[in-house]
Amino acid sequence: MFREENLLAFHEMIAPLIAEPDVQSMQHCRQHAEGISRLDHCLYVAYLSFLFCRRCKLDARSAARAGLMHDMDLRDEASVGRLRHLVSHPVMAAEAADRHGLNRLERDIILKHMWPVTLRLMPRYRESFVVNMADKVCALFEVTRLYRLFRVSRSMSYLGLLSRIERLRPAPSLAA
């Protein structure tokens, strides 16, 4: 799962986004369980989606990018109410993600990642279903704390991912 070529290819696809301030701000929002930030959750979803789409020869880049931004609604859930937040946050996340130049597929993924809760917004593309399912699997792992059993939390946290990528990159050449 965490093979070198997968991690490097994944990082290459999300690197321009991960440095953005609005993406970084997800680090400060708790998601599903204690010790999991919204950014960590989105990285889990993005990486799982990337792996599956890459394996099935689907658009892994769009799945990774949309997976990273699928929960980029930074409103406080308590301020809008839990049910309203469940239904409205895909639209708010898509609006926030639009600033990063979404393609049609990425927009569909983000808008429809809460299906079947958002009954009328059924995924249109295979990649949308992949991210939708990855989101459910990751949420289940977070709520039940199964990620600890598989030792995923450190390796896919934002800082864990960055340190792994840095270790995998070749050292710069000193030759001039």
Residue 22 near residue 74, CB atoms below 8 Å: yes
Average pLDDT over residues 115-128: 83
Residue 37 in contact with residue 31, Cβ under 8 Å? yes
Query: Which tens digits make up the pLDDT trace of 92-107?
Result: 788 878 888 889 999 9
Domain that residue 130 falls in: 4-168
Residue 160 domain-assigned (yes or no): yes
Structurally, how many domains does the chain consist of? 1
pLDDT digits over 138-151, tens only? Answer: 888 877 876 666 66
- Cβ atoms of 153 and 147 within 8 Å: the answer is yes
Whichever domain contains 93, its CATH number is 1.10.3210
Does residue 164 form part of some domain? yes
Which region holds residue 31: left if phi is over 0, alpha if psi is between -120 and 50, else beta? beta
**Angle CA 42–48–120, to nearest 5:** 70
> Are the C-beta atoms of 26 and 71 separated by less than 8 Å?
yes
* Average pLDDT for the chain: 79
Answer yes or no: is 174 within a domain: no
Residue with the bigger pLDDT between 171 and 9: it is 9
- Does residue 43 lie within any of the structural domains? yes
